[in-house]
Structure 1
Amino acid sequence: MALVLAVVNQKGGVGKTTTAVNLAASLAAREHRALLVDLDPQGNATSGVGIARDQGDRTTVYHALLGEADARSAVLPTEVPNMFLLPSSADLVGAELELVSMEERESRLREALDGVRDAYDYVLIDCPPSLGLLTINALVAADRVLVPLQCEYYALEGLGSLLRTIDLVKGSLKPELEMEGVVLTMFDARNNLARQVMKDVQKNLRGLVYETVIPRNVRLSEAPSHGRPAILYDIESKGAQSYLQLAEELVQRHRSAAVQLKHA
């Protein structure tokens, strides 16, 4: 059964969608079946893999969330072998209001994904840049939380709110939810501030920060406008190679954890 990761940061512009798209693509490139769930009403993960956000009567994550359709019927293949998409929809903008009056409103996404997660090795949920009901649904559906963090002065600003939200979800809705880790993004080694931020984050979040650091990279920034993950747009670029390395680190982390559990 798939490992479900919620890719979360309520602060916009930190590389959240870039990480969700490119990590899913990189896992797929390493021959793991990966499902990318676009839960952000902006739909950037959907367009980022070359699929138009709204196409008439197409079934989307919105319909699965509200119980109007089976999630399996909404899943689309992408240009990357082994990578699939549960697309976003503009209807998600009003979904939080619609969910408020529903039973089990925080668990709707988990119920929707229960029917598909056995078909994949990894499910990555691209969350909206907020801590509203959609993000709560993602946290309840997830096994673990991955936080992209930009290497800038205000990097840790807002992280406290996110960690408190995760603790609340653990306490009342999903006791088994755990932190997967923090991925540093948009790193510029020439920038003294970026290097200092990296040291501060590694010190304050000891044990949680991935060794792989995602650089600030032009090709990585260009790829979404071409509707392609970086490994298809320019696999030799530093951005693409960094996400391939991140995927390998993720896989090795869980392989090691599984071995330790087996011998415990």
Structure 2
Amino acid sequence: MTTNGYDALPGMDAPELGPTGRPLREFPVPAPLADHGPARIISMCNQKGGVGKTTTSINLAAALAEYGRRVLAVDFDPQGALSAGLGVQNYDVTTIYDLLLNPKLDPHEAIQPTSVEGLDVIPANIDLSAAEVHLVSEVAREQILARVLRRVADDYDLILIDCQPSLGLLTVNALTAAHGVLIPLESEYFALRGVALLKETIDKVQERLNPSLELDGILITMFDSRTLHAREVLERVVDAFDSQVLDTVIRRTVKFPDASVAGTPVTQFAPNHAAAEAYRTLARELVVRGAVA
């Protein structure tokens, strides 16, 4: 018997398949770390807005912190949604914008703790929208964020950069600073169309600025298995990108906006909900894949 390319042994039932068409896998709870740092840096990227970048940044960071990892989330979007979603102040404080423009500032001054033990944030606000204009004449302007994060990397196991929905200079900075890229992708046709352009940008940064940059995975978000369209888009993504598509799939639920309004991760807002468990599963899968320590 064959199911989606997986052979069942004679006399055995075919394996239960997950949304991606692969057999469901159990990812073990990661062992505690004996020590911390230096951090691996992951950029959360997609030039299309509304695909779940910030939601994933918040909840993946919180889930990894639950597993004893020290995580720094960097809000790199002028909308400041990550800062708001984690309930931290982003006005009248030192932000990532200040750190980009003033190399004399100590990045530790911008770091704020959150309600999640082990999870800190460097906030952002609308001021960041002016950064590209100020940085365009700087020498090695694509590497400014990397220089900032290098000064705090030893304090963390993971630095997660929540990028704005654009492929401009700020996103190039994030990709140049990163070791890996995670692409949240809504299971919707127009979201799928932009992946090729994003992949081209990642390849250019890898070739010209950051040879060590890797694609850590494509994460399907806002998935609704009740619709044929969502299932077809997921099937096309798996066909095109194969093992680069993560097994974990994030389903659509009202719990995410509810948690955002409360300024807390869904892992705290509704710790027993399937949405919280989905991000814990994602955290475990990334550890198994080697994207996170």
Cα distance in 2 for residues equivalent to 1:172 and 1:81 = 38
Moved over 6 A (4+): none
Tell me the residue number matched to 1:262: none
Cα distance in 1 for residues equivalent to 2:186 and 2:205 = 24
Cα distance in 1 for residues equivalent to 2:230 and 2:90 = 34
Give the secondary structure class of the aligned counterpart of 1:53.
Answer: coil
Tell me the residue number matched to 1:230: 266
8 Å Cα contact 2:76/2:164 also seen in 1: yes
Give the AA of the match of 2:265: P
Cα distance in 2 for residues equivalent to 1:152 and 1:158 = 11
Give the AA of the match of 1:59: T
Return 5+ residue gaps in structure 1 as ranges: 259-264
Q: 2:222 aligns with which of 177, 186, 194?
A: 186
Give the AA of the match of 2:217: G
Q: 1:115 aligns with which of 151, 170, 176?
A: 151
8 Å Cα contact 2:48/2:191 also seen in 1: no
| Higher Rg of the two aligned structures | 2
Q: How far apart are residue 53 of structure 1 and its match?
A: 2.5
Give the secondary structure class of the aligned counterpart of 1:211.
Answer: strand
> What RMSD, in angstroms, separates the aligned Cα atoms of the two structures?
1.3
Asked if residue 105 in structure 1 is aligned to residue 138 in structure 2, the reply is: no
Cα distance in 2 for residues equivalent to 1:65 and 1:203 = 40
TM-score scaled by structure 1? 0.94
Tell me the residue number matched to 1:11: 48
Asked if residue 46 in structure 1 is aligned to residue 101 in structure 2, the reply is: no
Give the secondary structure class of the aligned counterpart of 2:202.
Answer: helix
Tell me the residue number matched to 1:164: 200
8 Å Cα contact 1:59/1:69 also seen in 2: no
Tell me the residue number matched to 1:249: 285
Give the secondary structure class of the aligned counterpart of 2:250.
Answer: coil
8 Å Cα contact 1:26/1:244 also seen in 2: yes
Tell me the residue number matched to 1:196: 232
Q: CA offsets, 1:147-196, max 9 Å, x none?
A: 00001122311111111111111111111111111000001111111111
Q: 1:74 aligns with which of 106, 110, 115?
A: 110
Tell me the residue number matched to 1:261: none
Return 5+ residue gaps in structure 2 as ranges: 1-37
Cα distance in 1 for residues equivalent to 2:195 and 2:245 = 13
Paired residues, what number?
Answer: 255
Cα distance in 2 for residues equivalent to 1:53 and 1:64 = 14
Q: 2:94 aligns with which of 38, 59, 71?
A: 59
Q: How far apart are residue 218 of structure 1 and its match?
A: 1.1
Q: How far apart are residue 68 of structure 1 and its match?
A: 4.7
Q: CA offsets, 1:36-74, max 9 Å, x none?
A: 0000000000000011331x2x11111111225121211
Q: How far apart are residue 231 of structure 1 and its match?
A: 0.7
| Bigger helix share | 1
Q: 1:2 aligns with which of 39, 57, 77?
A: 39
8 Å Cα contact 2:222/2:252 also seen in 1: yes
8 Å Cα contact 1:6/1:127 also seen in 2: yes
Asked if residue 26 in structure 1 is aligned to residue 63 in structure 2, the reply is: yes
Tell me the residue number matched to 1:135: 171
Tell me the residue number matched to 2:9: none
Asked if residue 96 in structure 1 is aligned to residue 132 in structure 2, the reply is: yes
| Percentage of matched positions with identical amino acids | 45
Cα distance in 1 for residues equivalent to 2:112 and 2:90 = 12
TM-score scaled by structure 2? 0.85
Cα distance in 2 for residues equivalent to 1:68 and 1:210 = 40
Cα distance in 2 for residues equivalent to 1:141 and 1:2 = 12
Q: How far apart are residue 3 of structure 1 and its match?
A: 1.1
